[in-house]
Amino acid sequence: MGKKKELTEIVGSQQVIVDTRILNELSSDESFVCPTRPAFIVKPHNTDEIQRIVKWANETHTPLVPVSSGAPHFRGDSVPSADGAIIVDLSDMRKILRIDRKNRVAMIEPGVTFGELFPGLKKEGLRPNMPLLPRRRKSVAGSVLEREPVIMPKYHWDIIDPLSCTEVVFGSGDLYRTGAALGPGTTEEQWKSGGAQKSHAEPLADWCRIIQGAQGTMGIVTWATIRCEFTPSLEEPFMVGSPSLPGLFELIHWLVRLRLADECLVLNNVNLAHILAGQRPDEYERLRDNLPPWVLFFCISGYEYYPEEKVSYQIEQMLDIAERSGVEPVRELNGVRAQDFLRIIQKPSEEPYWKTRAKGSCYDIFCLATYDRIPELIRVMNKAAAENGYPVANMGIYLQPVVQGTSYHCEFNLFFDPANPEEISKLKSLSLNAIPSLMDKGAFFSRPYGTWVDMVYGRDAETTAALRKIKGIVDPNNIMNPGKLCF
């Protein structure tokens, strides 16, 4: 009770949640991590409160788990791994602090979702470089901090994108601003000099890169600047169906290399059908059976200057490359209009979240790999699925070129019934079997979650040691989401 009182003094009684039902909901998620009930949920309003919470947590050795997105959660990073943890729910911090059209940047608090950000961006003729169909309650800051892949690889210069700067309360309780936000001067003073908190790099380090991918183990972000892009004035989307991947990879290489395409991604028929089926799950099978095994989607866009001319020559270039690659881009693929798909993916997922439509939940296994490794990774997953009783025909696959084509995000979506213990058991076993095999075949788990963590860090002792040094600096008492990653 003492802790509740102390927290109430910081955030106010309305913002400290002790309701058992709600605490139970956050004691687990759609992943297979061990459920652990948090002691409380606190919902700070601002940076000052967050800093006070963190300092208090250091004094009381209370683990903190920062969460900015609403449920459902899928990765296990928002489930406490230690008893007595407090969830710091940032969803009430939902201000859009600034949108700067000229500099294509938005400054937002951690609770802002994609849906909440869109109207403000749209008004300024901007759009975010989004992940594929984020769920409605997914926070933008949460997404970029997790290094989720984005669907416009042309604008993905560096894996940190679209994250630019942050204000963060380190686990030590120190407040820090990363990148150009460091100063000199306040952010307002920087704006006067034309600064826009775009550069994430600092004179000597790049703390933003350390906070990103950390699953809240380094600190709590109180605001972030997000790089955006202009909204096109003309969009010409295409789809390419193929029984196999090589021709698609060849086309994608040039689409990205020559900066022809904005949105550019590959889905297998399973995933594409689930997305298209939308609110009509009965349509899923028809769609899936009508679609080729692989579908590349991309969009060629025009902007401010002579958009028709730009799009015209780029389409010509694209068609030439497609012919050499042995594939045929079309505007409509087996009854599916590319334009319709474009509209779908330019927004967050409609409810219910597309990954839950099939069976209620979904377990994702994802990694990074170069294009040439992907066919083998698919073979590994298929084998693991077959060996563990998961129907291969039900597995969704999403391939996303990232960092301007240097590699692919390779994601396997395993839809399952969360109420079926047998299915869960099979998936757990599948995951344990598949991940080492995937790593053996060149998969890199840049973003390890839950049960993968030990397997992944077990392969890289030096990085593990280095990360622990960093952790020791910013969170000496290990109060930030302990038990995650290698801490």
Residues 216-245 that bind another protein (CB under 8 A): 217-218, 227, 230
The nearest distance, CB 15 to another protein, in angstroms, is 27
Peptide bond into 72 cis (omega under 30): yes
Q: Is 206 in the site for another protein (CB under 8 A)?
A: yes
Q: Which amino acid is at 464?
A: T
Q: Is 451 in the site for another protein (CB under 8 A)?
A: no
Residue among 379 and 459 whose Cβ is closer to another protein: 459
Q: Select from 85, 211, 276, 318 the one that contacts another protein (CB under 8 A).
A: 211
Q: Taking CB under 8 A as the criterion, which residues in 355-394 touch another protein?
A: 368-372
The nearest distance, CB 287 to another protein, in angstroms, is 32
Query: Residue holding tokens 């599916």?
Result: 336
Q: Is 22 in the site for another protein (CB under 8 A)?
A: no
Q: Taking CB under 8 A as the criterion, which residues in 275-314 touch another protein?
A: 303-306, 309-310, 312-314
Q: Select from 52, 75, 98, 104 the one that contacts another protein (CB under 8 A).
A: 104
Q: Is 47 in the site for another protein (CB under 8 A)?
A: no
Q: Taking CB under 8 A as the criterion, which residues in 464-483 touch another protein?
A: 465-467, 469-470, 472-473
Separation CA 107–CA 118 (nearest Å): 13
Query: Residue holding tokens 């053996």?
Result: 440
Rounded to 5°, angle at Cα 190 from 92 and 122: 50
Here the contacts of 56-60 (C-beta below 8 Å, separation 24 or greater) are 56/6, 56/7, 56/10, 57/86, 57/479, 58/171, 58/172, 58/173, 58/477, 58/479, 60/3, 60/6
Buried b (16+ CB within 10 A) or exposed e, 136-166: bbbbbbbbbbbbbbbbbbbbbeebbbbbbbb
Q: Taking CB under 8 A as the criterion, which residues in 391-430 touch another protein?
A: 403-407
Q: Do 418 and 30 touch, CB atoms closer than 8 A?
A: yes
For the window 136-175, what string marks contact with another protein as x by the rule CB under 8 A? -----------x---------xxxx--------------x
Q: Select from 45, 94, 176, 278 the one that contacts another protein (CB under 8 A).
A: 176
Query: Residue holding tokens 């439509």?
Result: 357
Report DSSP state, residue 359.
T
The nearest distance, CB 214 to another protein, in angstroms, is 4
Number of residues that bind another protein (CB under 8 A): 96
